């Protein structure tokens, strides 16, 4: 469970940071909470998001259902303090989120870090579809060089439509935030956004998930209700 000891607000108020499911800014949330009779500054909500969202996402991984072994991998971009940073993402052929990683650069080293993270948490795929990126292909070539049975790499653009649709959903949610002020805050909020995508796609083993709201499922993953 998360440790909320010493926090001025109740847990259920703090967990309003699950707003990562909706295209809202911190100031929007400040107004909404005010209408509900809770006076909280947008900067406090920002701090909660940075502190708790990556922890909740990390805890949620323990209850994530397995994904398929045919992946679609791509990267999108977001601005941090006015500079472009890159979000590497992969889904399986059913659209289930495999993994994600925010990086400062878009190169072979970044692609390698992403594949290391994704394979470490989800096992090795049999196939990976990607675009014509030379850096991504070079990373996969390096991985295959050390394998007895290579992972099949397919550089066919239309196969990546499903992961590119997820990129658009992320941009829809981050647009109201008017750019991130730090790499840490970007990574934290994007972790929350990816977590909520996985909740919506039913990727977690949670008791009674079919009969509960996405907000309640998020609370379960945060430790307020014990998952399966």
The pLDDT tens digits of the residues spanning 146-205 come to: 899 999 999 987 888 888 888 888 888 887 776 788 999 999 989 988 998 899 899 999
Average the pLDDT over 14-32 and give the result. Answer: 71
Q: Which of 191, 193, 114, 129 is nearest to 161 (CA)?
A: 129
Q: How confident is the model at residue 19 (pLDDT cuts 50, 70, 90)?
A: low
Q: What is the pLDDT of residues 30-70, one digit of tens each?
A: 887 888 787 888 888 788 888 888 888 988 898 999 999 99
Q: Which residues of 82-121 are buried (b: 16+ CB within 10 A; e: fewer)?
A: eeebbbbbbbbeeebbbbbbbbeebbbebbbebbebbbee
Q: What is the mean pLDDT of the chain?
A: 85
Cα distances (Å, whole numbers) of residue 220 to 1, 40, 85, 213: 10, 24, 31, 11
Query: Quick one: pLDDT at residue 15?
Result: 64
- Number of residues assigned to the chain: 228
pLDDT of 3 over the 60 cut: no
Q: How confident is the model at residue 219 (pLDDT cuts 50, 70, 90)?
A: confident
The model carries a pTM of 0.85
Q: Where do the structural domains in the chain lie, given as residue ranges?
A: 67-181
Q: What is the pLDDT of residues 104-125, one digit of tens each?
A: 999 999 999 999 999 999 999 9
What's the fold here for domain 67-181? Answer: Nucleotidyltransferase; domain 5 (3.30.420)
The DSSP annotation for 170-224 comes to HHHHHGGG-SBSSHHHHHHHHHHHHHHHHHHTT-B--TTGGGS-HHHHHHHHTTS
Query: Quick one: pLDDT at residue 17?
Result: 53
């Amino acid at each position: 469970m998360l440790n909320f000891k010493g926090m001025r607000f109740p847990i259920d108020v703090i967990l309003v940071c699950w707003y990562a499911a909706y295209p809202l800014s911190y100031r929007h949330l400040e107004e909404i909470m005010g209408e509900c009779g809770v006076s909280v500054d947008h900067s406090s909500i920002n701090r909660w998001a940075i502190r708790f969202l990556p922890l909740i996402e990390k805890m949620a991984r323990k209850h994530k259902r397995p994904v398929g072994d045919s992946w679609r991998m791509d990267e999108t971009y977001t601005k941090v303090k006015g500079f472009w940073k890159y979000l590497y993402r992969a889904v399986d052929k059913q659209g289930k989120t495999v993994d994600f990683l925010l990086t400062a650069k878009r190169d072979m080293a970044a692609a390698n870090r992403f594949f290391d993270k994704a394979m470490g948490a989800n096992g090795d795929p049999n196939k990976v579809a990607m675009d014509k990126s030379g850096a991504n292909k070079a990373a996969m070539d390096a991985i295959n060089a050390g394998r007895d049975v290579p992972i099949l790499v397919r550089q066919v653009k239309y196969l990546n439509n499903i992961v590119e649709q997820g990129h658009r959903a992320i941009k829809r949610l981050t647009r109201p935030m008017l750019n991130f002020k730090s790499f840490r805050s970007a990574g934290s909020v994007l972790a929350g956004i990816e977590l909520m995508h996985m909740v919506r796609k039913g990727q977690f083993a949670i008791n009674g998930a079919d009969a509960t709201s996405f907000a309640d499922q998020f609370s379960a993953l945060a430790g307020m209700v014990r998952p399966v």
